């Protein structure tokens, strides 16, 4: 039913949607947006980065070392926030409720609409950005490092794992269209890497925080390797905050309060262990003993492994990850052992882009290993990879989770407001027809009983 509704959205929005169950070929429902070609280069990400992962880790470690020097900050100039006081009601900015505990999913969709309206350069006022970070951090504070997703076990409840978004607001927008906004029967688990590389990390992080605040029992967040002030200092988020006059340092507390792993209950396709990247050389008992990160995640063995590692099923056991220069390579035997220990059937991670959005590797005894990546047009694939999410269904013990993928929305990006940092200031032009279609249906979604007003 969700898929049927999603396809009617997508049809009007000039995009393609694939729905694939494990072991079947994708079903192409709709035509590719006119004017797009498979070889079209990505315009959503900072292509000056060649995504060399070893350089990424080495740069981060260098950044950590530099940060320990007294004068190191001089090489990373900050733009101080222009204002942290509440904007006057007459200010033509987007205003959030005074008491954020009263914020609804509808308010969050209004904010998304504001971000996507012409002239395409809207962002949150520094006061509200600070307020939502504080509110989201206080919700995360009560959650465990290895957190269990609790659901009300309502009929037809789904838990959807969302992979890296990397500042791609259009992919977050199409996610909300495709699987509908979070609700008590539509649980979201964002699996890290919300910021860096893309042009709208501030807006992506703002919408994710607002979804968490408006639906705290329906939204869960894992920490990725880019939710680290040392990493996002080098990969775009800090520069973007500076260009939008936001206090970047306030994000540090939010990052440190993110959970590192989530357990999906066994009633949902046998359950799953979900981490951003992987696991290292530790048993389940050690894994469960970790606490949330304090400062950089590159300083601690287990945290670094969870957020930086990659699978290598050609070998068994654990070995150092010489490609990234951080984290480990782990074999299928390591995954199978930890699944046995935690009593779950599937292992889900993100961290690496996949051409088809989701990659599934079948392990022994029906157990599954999944890589989920949700940002489209990623530079690794010349800008033509699909978005993917993985959906767990209540009562679906006998089957695997459902893979849902779709193509990117057609976008026209401009960079005519590049500031001195070389960073596009957020002037993203989306085709007006697409925008009209997205928000034409927003009222329908609200009317469908999916609006969440929980606080
Ligand atoms: Mn990552």
DSSP string, 187-218: EEEE-S--SSSBS-HHHHHHHHHHHHHH-TTT
pLDDT at residue 293 is higher than 80: no
Residue 165 pLDDT: 97
Average pLDDT of span 246-258: 92
Which carries the bigger pLDDT value, residue 7 or residue 51?
A: 51
Residue 442 pLDDT: 44
The alpha helices in 233-314, defined as continuous H runs, are: 237-243, 251-256, 284-288, 301-308
What is the distance between the alpha carbons of residues 442 and 455, in angstroms, rounded to a whole number? 21
Which carries the bigger pLDDT value, residue 242 or residue 37?
A: 242
Structure tokens at 165: 């978004």
Average pLDDT of span 131-160: 94
Determine contact, residues 188/219, Cβ cutoff 8 Å. yes
Give me the percent of the chain exceeding a pLDDT of 90: 55
Average pLDDT of span 302-316: 94
Q: Is 348 exposed, middle or buried (0-12, 13-18, 19+ CB in 10 A)?
A: buried
Determine contact, residues 79/243, Cβ cutoff 8 Å. yes
pLDDT at residue 345 is higher than 90: yes
Residue 415 pLDDT: 34
pLDDT at residue 2 is higher than 50: no
Q: Which of 125, 226, 276, 346 is catalytic?
A: 226
pLDDT at residue 57 is higher than 90: no
> How close is the Cα of 306 to the center of ligand 1, in Å?
10
Residue 7 pLDDT: 31
pLDDT at residue 340 is higher than 60: yes
Which carries the bigger pLDDT value, residue 296 or residue 409?
A: 296
pLDDT at residue 198 is higher than 60: yes
> How close is the Cα of 34 to the center of ligand 1, in Å?
32
Residue 45 pLDDT: 72
Residue 60 pLDDT: 63
Interior/surface letters 357-386, b for 16+ CB within 10 angstroms, e for the rest: bbbbeebeeebbbbbbbbbbbbbebebbbb
> How close is the Cα of 143 to the center of ligand 1, in Å?
22
Average pLDDT of span 429-443: 40
What confidence tier does 281 reach under pLDDT thresholds 50, 70, 90? confident
> How close is the Cα of 166 to the center of ligand 1, in Å?
9
> How close is the Cα of 386 to the center of ligand 1, in Å?
17
Which carries the bigger pLDDT value, residue 34 or residue 384?
A: 384
Q: What is the CATH number assigned to the segment(s) 2-67+98-450?
A: 3.60.21.10
Average pLDDT of span 295-302: 78
pTM greater than the 0.95 cutoff: no
310-311 and 328-330 beta bridge pairing: parallel
> How close is the Cα of 452 to the center of ligand 1, in Å?
30
Structure tokens at 58: 């080495």
pLDDT at residue 14 is higher than 50: no
Q: Is 95 known to be catalytic? A: no
| Lowest mean pLDDT segment, chosen from 54-63, 166-175, 253-262, 366-375 | 54-63
> How close is the Cα of 351 to the center of ligand 1, in Å?
4
| Lowest mean pLDDT segment, chosen from 70-79, 324-333, 401-410 | 70-79
Which carries the bigger pLDDT value, residue 73 or residue 145?
A: 145
> How close is the Cα of 196 to the center of ligand 1, in Å?
10
Between the ranges 93-102, 178-187, 402-411, where is the mean pLDDT highest?
178-187
The alpha helices in 215-291, defined as continuous H runs, are: 229-232, 237-243, 251-256, 284-288
Determine contact, residues 21/403, Cβ cutoff 8 Å. yes
pLDDT at residue 49 is higher than 80: no
> How close is the Cα of 299 to the center of ligand 1, in Å?
16
What is the distance between the alpha carbons of residues 389 and 331, in angstroms, rounded to a whole number? 23
Interior/surface letters 206-230, b for 16+ CB within 10 angstroms, e for the rest: bbbbbbbbbbbbbbbbbbbbbbbbb
What confidence tier does 395 reach under pLDDT thresholds 50, 70, 90? confident
Report how far apart, in Å, the C-alpha atoms of 451 and of each of 135, 222, 442 are. Answer: 20, 24, 10
> How close is the Cα of 262 to the center of ligand 1, in Å?
16
Average pLDDT of span 196-210: 96
Structure tokens at 206: 């703002």
Average pLDDT of span 69-75: 40
> How close is the Cα of 224 to the center of ligand 1, in Å?
5
- Strand order across the 310-311 sheet: 310-311, 328-330, 318-320
Query: Mean pLDDT for the chain?
Result: 78
């Amino acid at each position: 039913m969700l898929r049927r509704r999603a396809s009617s959205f997508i049809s009007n929005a000039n995009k393609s949607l694939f729905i694939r169950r494990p072991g079947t070929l994708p079903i192409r429902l709709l035509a590719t947006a006119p004017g797009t070609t498979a070889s079209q280069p990505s315009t959503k990400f900072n292509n000056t980065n060649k995504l060399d992962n070893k350089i990424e880790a080495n740069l981060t470690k260098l950044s950590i070392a530099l940060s320990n020097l007294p004068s190191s900050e001089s090489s990373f100039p900050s733009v101080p926030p222009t204002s942290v006081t509440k904007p006057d009601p007459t200010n033509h900015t987007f205003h959030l409720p005074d008491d954020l505990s009263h914020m609804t999913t509808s308010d969050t969709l209004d904010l998304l609409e504001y971000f996507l309206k012409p002239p395409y350069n809207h962002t949150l006022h520094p006061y509200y950005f600070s307020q939502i970070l504080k509110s989201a951090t206080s919700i995360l504070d009560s959650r465990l490092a290895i957190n269990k997703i609790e659901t009300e076990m309502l009929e037809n409840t789904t838990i959807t794992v969302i992979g890296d978004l990397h500042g791609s607001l259009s992919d977050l927008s199409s996610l909300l269209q495709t699987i509908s906004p979070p609700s008590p029967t539509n649980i979201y688990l964002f699996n890290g890497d919300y910021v860096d590389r893309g042009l709208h990390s501030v807006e992506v992080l703002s919408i994710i925080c607002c979804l968490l605040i408006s639906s705290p029992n329906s939204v869960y967040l894992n920490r990725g390797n880019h939710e680290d002030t040392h990493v996002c200092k080098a990969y775009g988020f800090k520069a973007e905050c500076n260009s939008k006059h936001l206090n970047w340092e306030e994000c540090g507390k939010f990052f440190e309060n993110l959970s590192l792993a989530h357990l999906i209950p066994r009633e949902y396709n046998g359950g799953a262990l979900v981490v951003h990247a992987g696991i290292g050389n530790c048993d389940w008992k050690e894994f469960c003993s970790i606490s949330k990160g304090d400062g950089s995640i590159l300083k601690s063995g287990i945290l670094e492994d969870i957020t930086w590692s990659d699978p290598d099923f050609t070998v068994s056991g654990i070995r150092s990850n010489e490609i990234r220069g951080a984290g480990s390579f782990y074999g299928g035997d390591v995954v199978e052992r930890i699944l046995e220990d935690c009593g779950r059937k599937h292992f889900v991670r993100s961290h690496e882009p996949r051409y088809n959005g989701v990659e599934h590797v079948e392990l022994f005894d029906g157990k599954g290993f999944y890589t989920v990546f949700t940002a489209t047009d990623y530079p690794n694939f010349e800008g033509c990879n699909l978005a993917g999410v993985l959906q767990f269904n209540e009562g679906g013990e006998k089957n695997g989770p459902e893979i849902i993928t779709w193509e990117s929305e057609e976008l026209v990006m401009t960079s005519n407001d590049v500031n001195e940092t070389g960073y596009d200031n957020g002037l993203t032009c989306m085709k007006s027809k697409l925008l009209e279609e997205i928000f034409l249906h927003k009222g329908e979604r609200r009317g469908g009983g999916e609006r969440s007003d929980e606080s």
